[in-house]
Amino acid sequence: MKQNIKLFVVALLGGFISLTLYSRFFQNEVKVVASDEKQQLPVLTANTHTSLVAAEKLTDFTTAAEATLNAVVHVKNTSVGVQQDPFAELFYGHGYGSRKYERVGTGSGVVISPDGYIVTNNHVIDGASEIEISLNSQKKYKAELIGADKDNDIALLKIDADDLHYITFGDSDTSKIGEWVLAVGNPYNLTSTVTAGIISAKGRDLEGNSNIESFIQTDAAVNPGNSGGALVNTRGELIGINTAISSQTGSFVGYSFAVPSNIAKRIIEDLMENGSVKRAVLGVTTQAKSDIDGVYISEVSKNTGADKAGMKSGDIIKKINNVKIHKFSELVGQLVAKRPGDEVLVTVERDGIEKVLNVKLSEVSAFVSEAFGIQFGELKVKEKQDLRISGGIRVNKINNKDLQKLGIKPGYVVLSINNFKMNSVADLERVKQSIKSEEQVNKLVVINLEGERETFSRGW
């Protein structure tokens, strides 16, 4: 009898526990919907979308928007233009045919420090005689231009203010294709506006751009006035400066492009410390090859960081530090984000085997490059001033017989090759990507030893 009572108590207790567990874990999970003489179907109740809520949170942009809206500013660029009237010149003489007028351009900028440092695009403020900054609160300030880098379209401004909202830099190298991003700017002279999209591509080189870049491409809507604004991730970190759009109308239709934050950050630091940007190079010549994944090295310059590290002709660059390199623009993007003297780990493939080499980057001003049968060197600042030019590279030595016949000699300054402007010897790389041999050099613009400008076109 006692045994039966024990069994009954155990059974009762077990049933109670089972009922409790069922109520807790299953009753809220499934609700039975009755339908006359039809099969009963389980459906999720309002208590069970934990996974759906998590998914919504993954694409919640409110935190990033709140963190960035007040840190993006409106940039007004005022410059003075001169309009010529040839008829007035003809009838009234020199000086009567011109009149000055005011030109106004607008764009966006990103506050990067509480004491008023602002980054924007160079083209937003280029040629400005006066720059005005408007905060999202509509408060206005006069801005000082600290410095600019035309090659990468970045400029640094400063306003006299404190305790400003600002955006912290993120690591653009760790951003991924498919990642959600926000574009924040002042399109059409509106106050700060947010649009969302995903990263469509990285390391993008824009066709027709005068410099090899490594843009972040996104499908977030960017319109006139957005230039210089912020591209941020969902944590509100700055991963790019919006720069250009790909459109046939001038307004957003397809894609927009941003300078990666790692490049912008390095340029800004140089402008703050030196007032100018120093460019770093490995010390190699590359060659375009469509059948390889990476960047092919055709030549290593002597006494450069690459040479001292043991890089060789025929090596294929696969990584810079831990960042994979698939094409030339990605290599340039990594180097632009570095300074001369920095050491990088370069992974190269040689005879099917990967090697990791520690390379100390050289400064472009000390770099000498061989191309098209010519050895080129950098011009000093005073040499440029004396010649009244902003760019150009010097001919140090020439072995190209066709050009020798034209009279080109050591000491000549090359301003452009095939319409590619030469600001430094590093610019030779983008020409080499489009020119496969000396015979395809179709046009040269030079300054001769007498300081005269000459143009040589194919047919010489």
* Residue count (the chain): 460
Distance CA 107, CA 73 (A): 9
Residues 6+ apart with CB under 8 A from 428: 285, 369, 371, 376, 393, 417, 422
Active-site residue (options: 149, 153, 270, 315): 153
DSSP designation for 262: H
How much of the chain is helix, strand and coil, in % rounded to 5?
25, 35, 40
Distance CA 127, CA 16 (A): 82
Active-site residue (options: 74, 123, 151, 416): 123
Decide if 94 is catalytic.
no
Nearest alpha carbon to residue 109 among 128, 80, 79, 131: 131
Backbone angles phi, psi at 396, to 5 degrees: -90, -35
Decide if 123 is catalytic.
yes
The region that residue 146 occupies, defined by phi over 0 for left and psi between -120 and 50 for alpha, beta otherwise, is alpha
3-state DSSP assignment of residue 119: strand
Decide if 165 is catalytic.
no
Active-site residue (options: 175, 227, 362, 416): 227
The DSSP-derived string for 318-371 is EEETTEE--SHHHHHHHHHTS-TT-EEEEEEEETTEEEEEEEEPEEGGG--EEE
The DSSP-derived string for 388-430 is T-S--EEEEEE--HHHHHTT--TT-EEEEETTEE-SSGGGHHH
The helix (run of H) or strand (run of E) holding residue 376 is strand 374-378
The region that residue 307 occupies, defined by phi over 0 for left and psi between -120 and 50 for alpha, beta otherwise, is alpha
Q: What pairs with residue 184 in β-bridges?
A: 194, 230
Q: Report, as residue numbers or ranges, the catalytic residues.
A: 123, 153, 227
